[in-house]
């Protein structure tokens, strides 16, 4: 082309902070050569709320609602990971019933989060209808939460020493009905998308991530397992009562968009298995240990990590024996996963970048905190 | 040749009474014809504007029911005047104009899109004799005039001085150039058997029972119909070929900087285009207005709405293709299939193996 005096030039596009498919206020500075993305630079910080700093000026009990929007799609995990850290510091024994309720709620929340993933990923790849289907099923889970703790997004449900409220008698049958419906619906989702040639063309082989690279970048959760690394904190660093339940840890080998999507649907099935077993075994008893309102853990530090729907979620807590924590450091999986975007989305088309970004299921509150 | 061009296009006999009426009040000669055409243009425009409003509402209802929700419900019975309210809202809106736009190009783009979308209806037969002008090059005229839409999209992309819009415009140009070829090849298959480019002649060649419809002329009819529908979906910029305005990639593509009525013009043009490609499909493959018992325009509208429903079904159930896959699909699969089909049809016509 240069012979006739034509030349092309690269140009830069700001994808975000307000863009339909960056799932929040993430800014990707793209250097593009026509349709091709030559370089991706993520810029973060648009959603910084200084949650960690605020926590230093609150008592331990007040920290829990502050941490709710740390990762608002699975707010229960944020509640839980902080409560677990505090419990480890103070060595509080949590009642059996509370542990069961926590597991049921955490798994329900994981399903809700994966349903959102399913909907938004399908939407980013251009299929608008699955989004509504995913949210329809999530709505039933929201109803269960609302029935138990009155909230639908930021629950403030799991407290230090247990949970804030006991479940209603109607909860168990309704929960069973819900998971049965969702079980059928997941099969329906797979029937809807897995065989679709357009869906396959858009997802299979797109954005492959090898297991080594995933580990090198500190990826965790479904991203890691989709790349063939069988690593799940529920099994490898057991917390709560996960060791009592029977469930598989699904893995996939290729680590492309399709694998990450299929893996999450499989995880929904496993979560349903756990909930089914937990519902059978809820014991009678207290739902909360006796914890003083002036909760003062002994001086020390604790790091607790749990398996969230977006990878490893952790809270590092330093206490000096007073009512307020000295330092609360949070860790979210999305932060590490965002670093992977420039790594695997370079030299692909802009449509692929969107698909890869969606398949990582990055949400910005977890990155910026 | 020049003489033929200077002749006014013959008015459809159905509307001769309008001309007679105008002549009766004392306006004669050339002017009576011009005024008649003006009246017909206004009527067509009105009907189409209503149709487009209806289609927007119907699409929203259709999408709603596919997605297990209701769609618009608050304005009137099942939200029937929701689109009218939307149009009123868009009319009242301030036109936010980008300072760095290319003024002329930016201004004319929606107008060209709008005019090109509506101008196609001169030759579309809505019923037996309900056609503004039966041009003897009808289908060629439609192909030519609907391609103008692409120029408008390219203009919108360029004039907005926005990188997303430019990408959208370039995408649409590439897409339509690719899909025009299989679309024309599919149409030619039909033209081959009708022996005419006139829309009325094409419908007449399919008269009789439904097995005379071109879609049932085995084996090339169904193939041509399917390839036409695929290419037409791409022409109308609808999912799975809606890459020019892919919300998730380009935010809104070529119309990102348009607001108010200018945006509404693009929006309406899009829905009119959808109706156009469906009307062409009806005319070419589904026997146009032919049918029994019911009046001919009802048959035409019924068949066209069936095709529109098919396009809507595509939109709300399929993911979107990537831009390179889209090109690949056209040049590697659709173009060879349509041309093979055209050659097959030509051979069968020559051999006389058809009914």
Under an 8 A CB cutoff, do B66 and A129 touch? yes
Q: With a CB-CB cutoff of 8 Å, which residues 76-95 of chain A face chain B? A: none
CA distances, A62 to each of A57, A106, A157 (Å): 9, 21, 12
Helix (H) or strand (E) holding B326: helix B323-328
What are B98-123's pLDDT values in tens digits? 888 888 888 888 888 888 888 888 88
Q: What phi and psi values does residue A307 have, to the nearest 5 degrees?
A: -90, 105
Among all chains, which residue has been given the structure tokens 């690269």?
A: A10
CA-derived radius of gyration, chain A: 21
What are B136-193's pLDDT values in tens digits? 788 888 888 888 888 888 888 888 888 888 888 888 888 888 888 898 888 888 888 8
Distance from CA of B355 to the nearest CA of A (A): 36
Give the SS3 label for residue B293.
coil
Give the SS3 label for residue B127.
strand
Contact call for residues A226 and A251 (beta carbons, < 8 A): yes
pLDDT at B221: 81
Q: Which two tokens stand for residue B139?
A: 């289908």
pLDDT at residue B294 greater than cutoff 50: yes
Q: Which residues of A touch B321 (CB under 8 A)?
A: 126, 198, 201-202
pLDDT at B256: 81
Q: Which two tokens stand for residue A13?
A: 């596009």
Q: For residue A317, what are the β-bridge partners? A: A302, A328
* A34, A129, A202: residue with CB nearest B317: A129
Strand ranges (DSSP E) for chain B?
A: none
From the list B16, B95, B73, B59, the residue with the least C-alpha distance to B268 is B59
Instruction: Tell me the C-alpha distance between A271 and A242, whole Å.
Output: 11
From the list B164, B162, B154, B169, the residue with the least C-alpha distance to A350 is B164
Q: Which residues of B touch A352 (CB under 8 A)?
A: 322
**Interaxial angle between packed helices A350-360 and A96-124, expressed in degrees from 0 to 180 and rounded to the nearest 10:** 170
* A34, A126, A349: residue with CB nearest B320: A126
pLDDT at A181: 92
Q: With a CB-CB cutoff of 8 Å, which residues 177-206 of chain A face chain B? A: 193, 196, 198-199, 201-202
Under an 8 A CB cutoff, do B318 and A13 touch? no
At B67, the pLDDT band (50, 70, 90 cuts) reads confident
Under an 8 A CB cutoff, do A35 and B251 touch? no
Give the SS3 label for residue B233.
helix
Under an 8 A CB cutoff, do B246 and A193 touch? no
**% residues pLDDT > 70 (chain B):** 95
Under an 8 A CB cutoff, do A128 and B63 touch? yes
pLDDT at B21: 80
* A13, A349, A352: residue with CB nearest B163: A13
Instruction: Tell me the C-alpha distance between A76 and A113, whole Å.
Output: 11
Q: What is the mean pLDDT of chain B?
A: 82
Instruction: Tell me the C-alpha distance between B238 and B172, whole Å.
Output: 11
Q: Which residues of B touch A35 (CB under 8 A)?
A: 167, 171, 323-324
Under an 8 A CB cutoff, do B320 and A133 touch? no
**For the whole model, what pTM was predicted?**
0.84
From the list A209, A73, A22, A184, the residue with the least C-alpha distance to B247 is A22
From the list B149, B148, B153, the residue with the least C-alpha distance to B165 is B153
pLDDT at residue A155 greater than cutoff 60: yes
For the structural domain made of A2-368, what CATH number should be given?
Answer: 1.10.645.10
Instruction: Tell me the C-alpha distance between B221 and B226, whole Å.
Output: 9
Sign of CA dihedral A266, A267, A272, A274: positive
Contact call for residues B50 and B64 (beta carbons, < 8 A): no
pLDDT at residue A86 greater than cutoff 80: yes
Name which of B319, B329, B332 to mutate to probe chain A: the one with the most chain A Cβ atoms within 10 A of its Cβ: B319
Among all chains, which residue has been given the structure tokens 């797109």?
A: A206
Under an 8 A CB cutoff, do B319 and A199 touch? yes
Under an 8 A CB cutoff, do B322 and A349 touch? yes
Instruction: Count A/B contacts: CB-CB distance under 8 Å.
Output: 82
B320 in A contact zone (CB under 8 Å): yes
A279 in B contact zone (CB under 8 Å): no
A54 in B contact zone (CB under 8 Å): no
Residue that wins the pLDDT comparison between B272 and B33: B272
pLDDT at B216: 77
Instruction: Tell me the C-alpha distance between B138 and B200, whole Å.
Output: 9
pLDDT at residue B16 greater than cutoff 50: yes
Residues in chain A: 369
**Interaxial angle between packed helices B260-285 and B82-92, expressed in degrees from 0 to 180 and rounded to the nearest 10:** 140
Contact call for residues B249 and B178 (beta carbons, < 8 A): no
Instruction: Tell me the C-alpha distance between A224 and A344, whole Å.
Output: 14
For residue A51, what are the contacts with CB-CB under 8 A and spacing of at least 6? A66, A67, A69, A70, A330, A369
pLDDT at B7: 53
- From the CB of residue B167, how many other CB atoms can be counted at a distance below 10 Å? 26
A123 in B contact zone (CB under 8 Å): yes
- From the CB of residue B263, how many other CB atoms can be counted at a distance below 10 Å? 18
Name which of B64, B69, B244, B248 to mutate to probe chain A: the one with the most chain A Cβ atoms within 10 A of its Cβ: B248
Instruction: Tell me the C-alpha distance between B196 and B53, whole Å.
Output: 33
Q: Which two tokens stand for residue B35?
A: 């005024």
Q: For residue A37, what are the β-bridge partners? A: A32, A348
Query: Scanning every residue of chain B, which has its alpha carbon at the shortest distance from the alpha carbon of A133?
Result: B67
Q: Which residues of A touch B163 (CB under 8 A)?
A: 11, 13, 32
The angle formed by the CA atoms of residues B180, A123 and A46, to the nearest 5 degrees, is 120
Instruction: Tell me the C-alpha distance between B263 and A350, whole Å.
Output: 25
* B68, B251, B325: residue with CB nearest A201: B325
pLDDT at A272: 92
């Amino acid at each position: 082309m240069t012979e006739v005096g034509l030349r092309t030039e690269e140009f830069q596009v700001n994808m975000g902070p307000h863009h339909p498919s960056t799932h929040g206020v993430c800014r990707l500075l793209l250097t593009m050569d026509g349709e091709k993305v030559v370089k991706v630079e993520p810029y973060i910080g648009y959603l910084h709320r200084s949650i960690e700093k605020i926590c230093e000026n609150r008592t331990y009990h007040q920290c829990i609602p502050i941490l709710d929007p740390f990762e608002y799609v699975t707010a229960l995990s944020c509640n839980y990971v902080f409560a677990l850290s505090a419990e480890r510091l103070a060595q509080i024994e949590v009642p059996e019933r509370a542990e069961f309720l926590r597991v049921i709620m955490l798994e329900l929340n994981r399903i809700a989060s994966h349903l959102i993933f399913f909907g938004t990923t399908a939407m980013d790849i251009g299929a608008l209808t699955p989004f509504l289907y995913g949210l329809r099923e999530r709505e039933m889970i929201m109803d269960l939460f609302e029935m138990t703790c009155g909230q639908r997004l930021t629950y403030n449900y799991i407290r230090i020493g247990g949970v804030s409220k006991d479940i209603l008698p109607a909860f168990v049958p309704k929960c069973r009905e819900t998971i049965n419906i969702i079980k059928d619906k997941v099969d329906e989702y797979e029937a809807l998308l897995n065989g679709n040639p357009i869906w396959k063309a858009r997802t299979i082989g797109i954005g492959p991530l090898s297991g080594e690279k995933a580990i090198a970048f500190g990826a965790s959760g479904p991203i890691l397992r989709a790349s063939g690394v069988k690593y799940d904190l529920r099994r490898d660093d057991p917390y709560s009562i996960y060791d009592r339940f029977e469930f598989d840890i699904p893995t996939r080998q290729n680590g492309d968009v399709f694998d990450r999507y299929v893996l999450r649907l499989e995880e929904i099935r496993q979560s349903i298995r756990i909930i089914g077993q937990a519902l059978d075994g809820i014991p009678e008893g207290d739902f909360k240990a006796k914890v003083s309102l002036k909760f003062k853990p002994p001086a020390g530090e604790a790091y607790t990590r749990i398996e969230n729907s977006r990878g490893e979620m952790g809270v590092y807590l330093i206490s000096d024996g007073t009512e307020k924590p000295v330092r609360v450091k949070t860790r979210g999986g999305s932060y590490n996963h965002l670093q992977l975007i420039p790594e695997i989305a370079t030299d692909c088309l802009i449509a692929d970048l969107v698909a890869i970004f969606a398949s990582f299921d990055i949400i910005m509150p977890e990155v910026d905190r | 040749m020049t003489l033929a061009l200077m002749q006014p296009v013959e008015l459809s006999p159905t509307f001769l009474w309008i001309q007679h009426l105008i002549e009766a009040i004392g306006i004669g000669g050339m002017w009576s014809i011009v005024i008649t055409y003006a009246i017909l243009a206004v009527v067509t425009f009105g009907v189409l504007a209503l149709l487009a409003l209806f289609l927007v509402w119907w699409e929203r209802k259709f999408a709603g029911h596919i997605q297990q929700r209701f769609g618009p419900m608050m304005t009137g019975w099942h939200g029937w005047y929701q689109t009218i309210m939307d149009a009123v809202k868009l009319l009242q809106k301030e036109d936010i104009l980008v300072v760095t736009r290319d003024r002329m190009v930016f201004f004319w783009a929606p107008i060209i899109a709008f005019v090109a979308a509506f101008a196609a209806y001169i030759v579309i037969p809505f019923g037996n004799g309900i056609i503004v002008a039966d041009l003897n090059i009808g289908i060629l005229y439609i192909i030519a005039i609907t391609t103008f839409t692409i120029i408008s999209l390219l203009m919108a992309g360029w004039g907005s001085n926005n990188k997303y819009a430019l990408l959208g415009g370039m995408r649409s140009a590439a897409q339509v150039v690719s899909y025009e070829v299989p679309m024309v090849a599919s149409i030619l298959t039909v033209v081959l058997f009708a022996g005419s480019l006139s829309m009325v002649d094409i419908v007449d060649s399919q008269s009789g029972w439904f097995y005379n419809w071109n879609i049932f002329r085995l084996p090339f009819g169904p193939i041509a119909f399917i390839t036409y529908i695929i290419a037409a979906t791409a022409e109308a910029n609808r999912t799975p070929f809606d890459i020019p305005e892919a919300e998730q990639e380009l935010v809104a593509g070529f119309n990102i900087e348009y607001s108010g009525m200018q945006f509404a013009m693009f929006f309406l043009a899009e829905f009119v285009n959808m109706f156009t490609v469906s009307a062409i499909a009806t005319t070419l493959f589904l026997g146009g207005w032919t049918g029994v018992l019911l009046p001919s325009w009802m048959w035409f509208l019924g068949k066209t709405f069936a095709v529109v429903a098919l396009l809507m079904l595509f939109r709300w159930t399929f993911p979107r293709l990537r831009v390179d896959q889209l090109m690949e699909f056209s040049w590697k699969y659709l173009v060879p299939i349509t041309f093979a089909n055209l050659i097959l049809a030509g051979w069968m016509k020559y051999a006389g193996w058809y009914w």
